[in-house]
Chains A and B, each alone.
Chain A
Amino acid sequence: MFGFNGGSVPDSTEYSPNRRQILKYGAAAFGVTGLAGCSSDGSPDGGSGDDSDGDTIVFGEPTMETSQFGFIMAGTNQSIDLAIEEINESGGLLGSTVEVSRRETGSDPTEFREVFEQFVNNDGAVGIIRATSAELTPNLEFVAERETPLITNGAGTTALDDYGGDSGTPEDMSDDEWVWRTIASDSVSTAGGAKYMYEQGNERMAILAGNSQGERSWANSFEAAYENLGGEIVSRLEVQNGKNSYQSELSRLFEADFDAWGLSLKRDDATTLVREWNNAGYGGQMIAESGIRSDEFVDAVGEQAEGALIAFTATSGPNYGEFEEKYREFGDAELHQWALAGYDAMTVAALAAQQGGDASPEAIQQNLASVSKPPGTAVSSFPEGKEALENDEEINYEGVLTPTDFTDDGNVVGDVRVAQLTPDGFEDEALVSADEIRDLFTS
């Protein structure tokens, strides 16, 4: 039997260390390792992000390429870059070139705080675009204290349902919470999904959710809305993210007797779980959290999970069609709801600064609400908005994901679309209007 040999003697003749070799490989190792946490600048000239002088206005974008949500970054970056190109080609924001500084957080709340500080202190960023629920929820107070507006295309957490915005008093900044989001709360899409499931005759459901903030948020919203309607959640199981297998969790969940089940897991984990669900032949109607909606998910499990439902914020933005054409021409990244919301976030932030006449955090914060909603000339891009403002008109930015009419809490509301998964993609099943589900919100 083998035992530990603590007295292993290296063969000095064959293992003679070569200092130059070690240095060479060490340098290579550090070079590659550094890629995991590097910062990058999305500016066209590739320069650093700390050159926010009079000719350059910088926005910070915390990226999360290395997280499980990394798959949304290509589309998000493409839409933000598209918005910036439009701004700069129209003569710039208040005559200055706009750049985005990107720094990686891995969706980690601590890293998020650090890069936020770097954006503000090193890069001179006047606004921050993008944050996830996991990054943002523990840092709400931190963001408010920095008094730099954060306009995110993600973070559907219900924690923001009654937090954020300017409390409807743009002139009085003492009550501002500095967080805005251009994507509807999880409460909206989950309530729509819960309503649809209940109305389809599913009176008993189970929920399987991951243990991240966003996944819990979805499960909480779904459960609350479903039970408000009269349904019963007979089993709810929380699972660890990033596992290689969810066989045991599925086995436990399906011991209960239910009509349908809800799934809230990050896309990669959901893919793993759905394959195992299919392999084991558990069956049952599934409705999943909208984050799985992607070409990759369809390619991976489109056949295995055929018939599964998702409920998501409908792309009810009045200018979606026009945007889609521009987006496809600009690059080949996947178009998803975060990409749409990313364009809305960047554009509405720039319009706020343009209207305020000052590329400062305060001007953006004070003008976000007014440029986003009626009254005013409807505009669908920065160039249109800039032109209207130059004509002394009030403007109302009409977004591509939603109408982007910010509430006093910095939220947007949209209709909910229920779609069914097929091997070829998601096919529309039903539309639930925001008005129908507003009463089901958990906040």
Chain B
Amino acid sequence: MSLIQQGIFGLVTGSYIAIAAIGFTLIYGLVNMLNIAYGEYLTIGAYVGFLAADSGLPLVAVLGLGFVATAAIGWTLTKLFFRPVVEKGPIPLLITSVGVGIVVRNGVRLFSGNELRYLDVGQPAVYRFSALGGVFVNTKQLLVVGTALSAFVAVHLLLTRTNVGIAMRAMKDNESLARINGARVMRIRNLVWLLACGLGGLGGVLLGIQTSASPTMGFQQLLVILAAATLGGAGSAYGAVVGAYILGIVIEMSVVLLPAEISQLGTTVAFLVLIAVLLVRPGGITGQEVTKV
């Protein structure tokens, strides 16, 4: 029973990591930026979701508002802080993102305090399966997984069925060539930022619904998101999804498989898996090169 139950928990954990990891890897792949402030988009999304839920909006609106508001705020932060230093290269950009992350994190703390905020979407219904030894799922977990699957499908359709998606893929292969062929590079970049930040916000809303919103919640997820993107193959949206689910399942399984004294080391085990995979496949699961960072 326990392993099946842990597998379900792993799918839930992997789901919100995956949504965020797609956004992270889109920025990484198209803007060539390791955005350390990315975790804060989850935090922003969760707090927007809290405000939306607190004002009585329906769940769909809470999710939508979390996406849209975080996209707008994230894009504004990009305009204010990242674009002015983008010419300086990846290292100044990286350092700037560290600073922006700290500013946003403490800004949220100043604005709302340290208290946890709960996105009240009602008491979840629990479904138990006695045939599986009492394994259960609740409606919050189903919401997280269902929303994640919807997001994956939407991103897949965007990348494969729209001109914008085709332009994004062209830019990732050769930006100069894409520009010569008429791709509106700045417009595409703006869209990538909006999409990536929005996905971060959506992941944050789901995480907030599943647990709670706090000033450090996004930052706490950053390493796992980065690991998921790297495990899947940095820059690959599909790889990020696979990497996120692998990490989510490993983290949750470790809690029951490790001895009780060290059961809190689940995240450590997940990173050991990451290291092992990268030793065998330096480009991650999808074989994307990461050596250009």
Q: Which residues of A contact B (CB under 8 A)?
A: 1-12, 14-18, 21-22, 25-26, 28-29, 32-33, 35-36, 65-66, 68, 70-71, 211, 235-240, 242-245, 247-249, 251-252, 255, 268, 271-272, 275-276, 279-281, 296, 300
Most chain A CB atoms below 10 A, which of B29, B261, B290: B29
Having A3-B288, A17-B85, A33-B99, one finds 20 other A-B pairs with CB under 8 Å, namely A2-B238, A4-B235, A4-B292, A5-B173, A7-B174, A8-B30, A17-B88, A25-B81, A238-B263, A242-B220, A243-B220, A244-B221, A245-B9, A245-B211, A248-B251, A248-B255, A251-B5, A252-B260, A275-B212, A276-B211
Q: Hey, which chain B residues are within 8 Å of A240, CB to CB? A: 264-267
Minimal beta-carbon separation of B156 from chain A (angstroms): 11
Give bound CA distance, A234 to B254, whole Å.
20
Give the docked Cα–Cα distance between A17 and B235 (Å). Answer: 26
Select the residue from B9, B236, B267, B289 with max chain A CB neighbours within 10 A.
Answer: B9
Among A2, A35, A66, A235, point to the contact of B29 (Cβ < 8 A): A2
Q: Which of A8, A16, A272, A279 contacts B140 (CB 8 A)?
A: A279
What A residues does B286 contact at CB under 8 A? Answer: 1
Interface residues of B in 208-242 (CB under 8 A from A): 210-212, 214, 216-217, 220-221, 233-239
> Which residues in A have their C-beta under 8 angstroms from that of B265?
240
Are the CB atoms of B292 and A6 closer together than 8 Å?
Answer: yes
Range, interface on chain B: 35 or more
CB-nearest residue of chain A relative to B102?
A: A33
Cβ-defined contact, B263 with A237, below 8 A: yes
Q: Per-residue CB proximity of B176-194 to A under 8 Å, as 1/0?
A: 1001000001100000000
Cβ-closest 10 pairs across A and B: A6-B292, A4-B235, A248-B255, A8-B32, A240-B264, A244-B211, A248-B252, A5-B172, A70-B114, A17-B84
Residues of B within 8 A of A3 (CB): 29, 172-173, 233, 235-236, 288-289
Nearest CB in chain A: distance from B290 CB, A: 7
Instruction: List the interface of chain B (C-beta within 8 A of A).
Output: 2, 5-6, 9, 12-13, 25-26, 28-32, 80-81, 83-88, 99-100, 102-103, 106-107, 109-110, 114-116, 118, 123-124, 126, 136, 138, 140, 159, 168-169, 171-176, 179, 185-186, 207, 210-212, 214, 216-217, 220-221, 233-239, 251-252, 255-256, 260-261, 263-267, 286, 288-290, 292-293
**Chain A residues near B28 (CB-CB < 8 A):** 4
Query: A14 to chain B: which residues have CB within 8 Å?
Result: 83, 186
Q: Which residues of B contact A243 (CB under 8 A)?
A: 220
> CB distance B210 to A245 under 8 Å?
yes
19 A-B residue pairs with Cβ-Cβ distance under 8 Å, sorted by A, are: A2-B29, A2-B30, A2-B169, A4-B288, A6-B292, A11-B185, A25-B81, A25-B84, A29-B102, A32-B110, A65-B114, A237-B260, A245-B13, A248-B9, A252-B255, A268-B116, A280-B138, A281-B136, A300-B116
| Given A70-B114, A271-B212, A272-B212, also A5-B260 (CB < 8 A) | no
Docked CA distance A25–B172 (Å): 30
Q: Which of B30, B214, B290 contacts A5 (CB 8 A)?
A: B30
Query: Which B residues are in CB contact (< 8 Å) with A29?
Result: 81, 99-100, 102-103
In the complex, the answer to whether B263 meets A5 with C-beta atoms within 8 Å is: no
C-alpha spacing A22/B99, complex, angstroms: 13
A36-B106 in contact (CB<8A): yes
In the complex, are the beta carbons of B221 and A252 less than 8 A apart? no
In angstroms, Cα B212 to Cα A6, docked, is 37
Q: How far is the CA of A302 from the CA of B267 in the complex (A)?
A: 31
Q: Given the known inter-chain contacts A36-B106, A237-B260, A252-B2, please indicate yes or no for A1 contacting B236, CB distance below 8 A.
A: yes
Of A5, A32, A271, the contact of B175 (CB 8 Å cutoff)? A5
Inter-subunit contact B256/A248 (CB<8 Å): yes
Bound: A28/B107 CA distance, A: 11
* Cα A240 to Cα B109 with chains together (Å): 22
Give chain A residues whose Cβ lies under 8 Å from the Cβ of B118. Answer: 275, 300
Q: Given the interface contacts A32-B103, A271-B212, does A15 sit within 8 Å of B175 by beta carbon?
A: no
In the complex the two chains form, is B238's CB within 8 Å of A1's CB? yes
- A244 interface neighbour in B2, B138, B185, B217, Cβ under 8 Å: B217
In the bound complex, do residue B237 and residue A2 qualify as a contact, i.e. CB atoms below 8 Å apart? yes
Closest B residue to A7 by CB, please name it.
Answer: B175
Which of B102, B159, B211 lies in contact with A36, CB distance below 8 A? B102
